[in-house]
Every structure is written in structure tokens, then in C-alpha cells.
């Protein structure tokens, strides 16, 4: 997650469809009147103490399909501005969420997470004192949900009790919001009746180098073995160049152009991983600067147009050849500049990016990046470091220490203030919320075979994950948790992150159908309780 939404992508692909644009203040969106207005609810900063501070939490409502007696569906926008989800989830007719709300004649809500978008008591920036983030944690953010739901009403339905006492609330989320979907049902079952938890990393851990193992496995599984072999060879060559004082500056400049040579080996190694961050949302496809484009480039001999065989080019032409191909990929500089606030001119000296600025070791200035970095540095960890082992597709300079140093870089006073721990307190998170042992009732877990975050989800089959856990599509009874050796869920073959939220992915419908079938069964019990 340290590459989560920023300096890489975690849940942004779950809040948006694969073809959605990222909304900006300059885009005029023709939202239907039923979900056009931004609404706010005043929440306490501190649900568990006596601090008097409050903030306005934003949300958006879709009520055009509502028929009395039916559920409220809350879609959690996660670690980013909630506005894009309004267009992509409430308004877009191809959105699975809008379709689900319509299918159940329910109410749809987009919920913005505290400290993101405009749902904060302070303006978030690099200059925001670290003390202001003390209320940004998992417990406080979960407690926002019942504080909101227990007071929810609509002007158009003044005589209907829409609170969880009389109306079932369904929490829907993917990635970090998918984790929240499971946790909020576990912690507040009287508020959230059921949850759809997609691609949810529930086991907090510091070392998330396995993120890149999943990329490696997925590329091989989709037929790019020649590409992965050349990447492994190129990484070994790059590390060799970085290890020498007489070549370190030159290879940085070769890849990213003027100014790149001034960066640390660690900062340069980090941005080499940026080619992989489109994977979790689109696998090898998606935007023009995707993994297929990269692999096609690195696997092609520029002199003859010949494509390498399964062994790649490094075996016959040497690792320098594959490294040079990587460096000359026309989109590499574009990818780096997309994920960081830089203007690296790249191998070709692209002058269209503006005055060169290739400072790779600077803090992430985006407000959401600031907030999310605080969250993973304090609680969840997930440092996406080098995957040392037989298949290293990440430089050894992108170490766990480097990832931890990012926390100190972002919050220089974090340690001295006592607000940031020396290392993310993952043990506390797992004790508090269950980690691998989480089994809330009325929750459906789904994920993709090649999703990097599957590795720390209840669908994990990694060596360190619990053994003997079986996936079942047999619907549990309402309010009854599955036994420890069972998970009510579904694995999408060949899929990556939140692919069951994509109506264009065929197997996604199968996953959603299991949930909606279960929900209909469970809702029968809710109606009996309230009658």
C-alpha cells in the first residue's frame, strides 16, 4: 500500500472503472438531479475521547430507484477524493454499483473517507503538522460509519426510517475499502447488515515485496515469459551499474535524462517499479503505457523487428541489451512523471514536459498521498520493496529500509512527536481486527488470481498464509460466520484487482451474482426481525 494510490496505484482502480477518467474541477459533469448535490454530515474528530473538534464529511446520494423497505448501499471511495466515484459509480449506467442499487430498488451512497477530498478539518499538504493526523486511523474511520448511518434521513422520504434500525445497510468496497467492508461488519454488525468485500488485504504486514511476485506470475501466466526473463536480467545489470561510482550517475541519466543523475540509488530504483503499477488495475492492457506495450518493446530487436523466443534476448545478446531497451521505451519517462510530481525528460530529452525537474527523492505533495502515507506508515505497512529471490523484477536498492525512510521523509517530526512508530504497528492492527482469522458474518470476499493484494487477503495461497482454508460458494445462514477453515468467497481466474467491479469482465458477473443471491437470502431474515 505504500505504493497504494500514490507512487503506484492501490484502490483508485476500485473507485473507478478501467475506462473512467479522473474527475477534476475543470470537468463539467451532467449529473442527474437525484445525485447531483454534495451533502455533508458533521462528525466528531475523536469518537473515543473528549476532543471537541468536528469536521464535515462529504457524501452523495442516488435515490431515483428507491422503493420503501429496501436497502441502503454505501460505496466507500477509499483513500482518495470521492468525486470521481459519483460519476463512475452513481451516474454511469454501466457501473455495477448503480446496477446493484437499481436491482434492489435501494438507495446508493458514495462515502468519502475522513482526511481525503474535502472531508477533513484541515487542508492537507506537506506543511500540515503531523499532530493533525492523530485522528487518521482505522478505528476512527470505521466509527464514522455508524455515526453517519444512525442519523441518516432524506427530505424526499420524511416518514421513512432509513437508519439501520429499520433499513438494512450494505457496505460495498474494493481494496482498502474492501478491507473496511469486512471490518465494519465485524465491529458494527448492528449498523452494517452485509458487506461486499472485493480484493481486500486484511492481514497487515510490513514486507510487501510479494506484490511484485504476483506481477511476475501474472505476466508469465498471460504469455510474457520472454519479457520477465529480460526484466530479471536487466535488473541484475542495473544493480551492477548502480553499485559502481563510475557508472551509477550514467545509468540514471540514460533512463530519465538530465538531472536524474543527482538522485539516490534508492530513489531511482524505486521509480523503476512504476512500470508495474498499471498491472493491478488493468493487467497487461489499459492505458497506452501498459505492460503489453513495455513487453512488446523490450522483446523486439530494433534492428530486425524480430521478437524474442521464450528465453528472451538477454541469454543471447546480454543483459545490457535488455537494459538499453528498457531505457529507450518511449513511455518510461511518461510513466514516472505520471506517478510523481516530476518532469523527467527521459532518454529522448522530451522538452514538452517543461523545465526539467527529475527530483525523485522529494516527498509526495498530493494531499491524498500525504494522508495515505500516514496511514500505511502508522498502521498497515505493506512496504513494496524488492522481491529478492529467484525472480527479482525489482532492484535490490528498493529495500525495506528505503520504504521505511519514505515515512520519515514525509513526516520529519513523526517520530519525535510520538505519533509515528518506528515501524508500522502491524501486530496491533492484526490483533485488533483479526487479520487472517477475520470471519465476519454476512460478508462475501472476492479477488483476482493475479491481484498483488490477494497475497494478504483471505483468498491467499502464499506459503505464510494459513493452510487448509477452503473457498465456498455455499451461502452461510444470515448472521452465522463461516468456520475458520472456510471463506465465503470467489476467486476470479486470470483476474487482478477489483475485476469483479468491472461489468466488462465476464467472470465478474459470476462473483457479483453470488453476493446478490446471498444478499436476497439474508434480507429475508432482516425483514422478519423488523416486522
Lookup result for grid cell 545509468: 251
pLDDT tier for residue 193 given thresholds of 50, 70 and 90 = very high
How far apart CA 56 and CA 121 sit, in angstroms, is: 7
Q: What digits encode the pLDDT tens for the residues 124-146?
A: 999 999 999 999 999 999 999 99
Question: For every residue of 374-403, which 3-state class applies, written as one string?
Answer: HHHHHHHEEECCCCCCCCCCCCCCCCHHHH
Q: What digits encode the pLDDT tens for the residues 51-100?
A: 999 999 999 999 999 999 999 999 999 999 999 999 999 999 999 999 99
Checking if the pLDDT of 233 tops 90, the result is yes
pLDDT at res. 33: 53
Contact 143, 52 (CB under 8 A): no
Residue 305, phi-psi category: left (phi > 0), alpha (psi -120 to 50), beta (remainder): left
Contact 36, 45 (CB under 8 A): no
Q: What digits encode the pLDDT tens for the residues 257-299?
A: 999 999 999 999 999 999 999 999 999 998 889 999 999 999 9
Checking if the pLDDT of 29 tops 50, the result is no
Checking if the pLDDT of 6 tops 60, the result is no
pLDDT at res. 101: 99
**Whole-prediction pTM:** 0.93
Give the pairing type, strands 443-448 and 194-198: parallel
Checking if the pLDDT of 169 tops 70, the result is yes
Which grid cell sits at 49? 475521547
Average pLDDT of the segment spanning 422-447: 98
30 versus 45: the higher-pLDDT residue is: 45
The domains located in the chain, with CATH, are: 34-157+164-202+437-530 (3.40.50.1820), 206-417 (no CATH)
pLDDT at res. 3: 39
**Cα dihedral angle (486, 489, 491, 497), rounded to 10 degrees?**
-120
Rg over alpha carbons for the chain, rounded to the nearest Å, is: 23
pLDDT tier for residue 42 given thresholds of 50, 70 and 90 = very high
**Quick check: helix, strand or coil at residue 52?**
coil
529 versus 521: the higher-pLDDT residue is: 521
pLDDT at res. 208: 98
- Best CA proximity match to 372, nearest among 337, 418, 406: 406
* DSSP-assigned beta bridge partners for residue 486: 470
Contact 491, 451 (CB under 8 A): no
Checking if the pLDDT of 172 tops 50, the result is yes
pLDDT tier for residue 37 given thresholds of 50, 70 and 90 = confident
Which grid cell sits at 150? 444512525
Q: What digits encode the pLDDT tens for the residues 329-358?
A: 999 999 999 999 999 999 998 777 778 899
pLDDT at res. 352: 74
Average pLDDT of the segment spanning 188-208: 99
Amino acid at each position: 500500500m505504500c505504493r497504494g494510490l500514490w507512487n503506484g496505484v492501490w484502490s483508485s482502480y476500485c473507485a473507478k472503472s478501467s475506462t473512467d477518467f479522473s474527475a477534476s474541477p475543470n470537468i463539467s459533469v451532467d449529473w442527474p438531479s437525484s445525485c447531483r448535490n454534495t451533502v455533508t454530515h458533521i462528525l466528531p474528530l475523536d469518537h473515543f475521547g473528549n476532543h471537541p473538534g468536528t469536521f464535515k464529511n462529504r457524501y452523495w446520494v442516488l435515490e431515483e430507484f428507491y422503493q420503501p423497505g429496501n436497502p441502503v448501499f454505501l460505496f466507500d471511495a477509499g483513500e482518495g477524493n470521492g468525486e470521481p466515484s459519483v460519476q463512475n459509480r452513481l451516474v454511469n449506467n454501466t457501473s455495477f454499483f448503480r446496477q446493484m442499487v437499481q436491482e434492489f430498488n435501494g438507495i446508493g451512497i458514495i462515502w468519502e473517507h475522513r482526511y481525503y477530498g474535502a472531508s477533513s478539518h484541515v487542508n492537507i499538504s506537506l506543511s500540515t503538522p503531523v499532530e493533525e493526523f492523530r485522528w487518521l486511523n482505522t478505528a476512527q474511520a470505521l466509527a464514522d460509519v455508524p455515526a453517519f448511518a444512525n442519523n441518516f434521513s432524506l427530505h424526499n422520504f420524511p416518514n421513512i426510517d432509513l437508519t439501520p434500525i429499520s433499513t438494512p445497510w450494505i457496505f460495498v468496497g474494493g481494496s482498502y475499502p474492501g478491507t473496511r467492508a469486512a471490518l465494519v461488519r465485524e465491529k458494527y454488525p448492528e449498523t452494517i447488515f452485509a458487506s461486499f468485500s472485493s480484493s481486500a488485504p486484511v492481514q497487515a504486514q510490513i514486507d510487501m515485496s510479494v506484490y511484485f511476485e504476483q506481477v511476475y506470475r501474472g505476466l508469465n501466466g498471460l504469455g510474457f515469459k520472454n519479457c520477465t526473463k529480460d526484466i530479471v536480467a536487466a535488473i541484475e545489470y542495473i544493480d551492477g551499474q548502480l553499485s559502481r561510482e563510475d557508472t551509477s550517475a550514467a545509468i540514471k541519466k540514460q533512463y530519465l535524462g538530465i538531472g536524474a543523475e543527482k538522485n539516490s540509488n534508492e530513489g531511482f530504483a524505486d521509480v523503476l517499479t512504476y512500470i508495474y503499477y498499471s498491472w493491478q488495475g488493468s493487467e497487461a492492457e489499459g492505458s497506452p503505457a501498459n505492460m503489453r506495450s513495455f513487453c512488446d518493446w523490450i522483446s523486439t530487436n530494433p534492428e530486425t523487428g524480430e521478437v524474442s523466443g521464450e528465453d528472451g534476448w538477454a541469454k543471447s545478446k546480454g543483459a545490457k541489451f535488455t537494459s538499453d531497451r528498457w531505457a529507450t521505451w518511449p513511455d518510461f519517462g511518461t510513466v514516472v512523471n505520471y506517478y510523481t510530481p516530476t518532469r523527467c525528460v527521459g532518454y529522448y530529452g522530451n522538452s514538452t514536459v517543461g523545465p526539467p525537474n527529475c527530483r525523485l527523492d522529494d516527498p509526495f505533495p498530493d494531499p491524498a498521498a500525504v494522508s495515505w502515507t500516514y496511514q500505511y506508515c502508522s498502521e498497515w505497512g505493506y512496504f513494496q520493496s524488492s522481491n529478492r529471490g529467484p525472480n527479482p523484477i525489482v532492484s535490490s536498492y528498493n529495500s525495506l529500509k528505503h520504504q521505511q525512510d519514505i515515512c520519515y521523509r514525509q513526516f520529519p517530526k513523526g517520530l519525535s512527536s510520538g505519533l509515528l512508530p518506528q515501524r508500522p504497528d502491524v501486530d496491533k492492527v492484526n490483533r485488533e481486527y483479526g487479520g487472517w482469522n477475520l470471519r465476519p458474518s454476512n460478508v462475501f470476499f472476492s479477488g483476482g488470481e493475479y491481484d498483488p493484494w490477494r497475497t494478504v487477503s483471505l483468498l491467499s495461497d502464499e506459503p505464510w498464509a494459513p493452510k487448509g482454508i477452503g473457498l465456498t460458494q455455499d451461502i452461510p445462514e444470515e448472521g452465522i460466520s463461516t468456520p475458520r477453515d472456510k471463506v465465503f468467497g470467489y476467486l476470479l481466474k486470470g483476474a487482478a484487482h477489483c475485476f469483479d467491479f468491472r461489468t466488462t469482465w465476464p467472470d465478474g458477473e459470476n462473483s457479483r451474482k453470488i453476493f446478490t443471491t446471498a444478499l436476497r437470502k439474508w434480507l429475508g431474515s432482516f425483514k422478519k426481525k423488523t416486522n
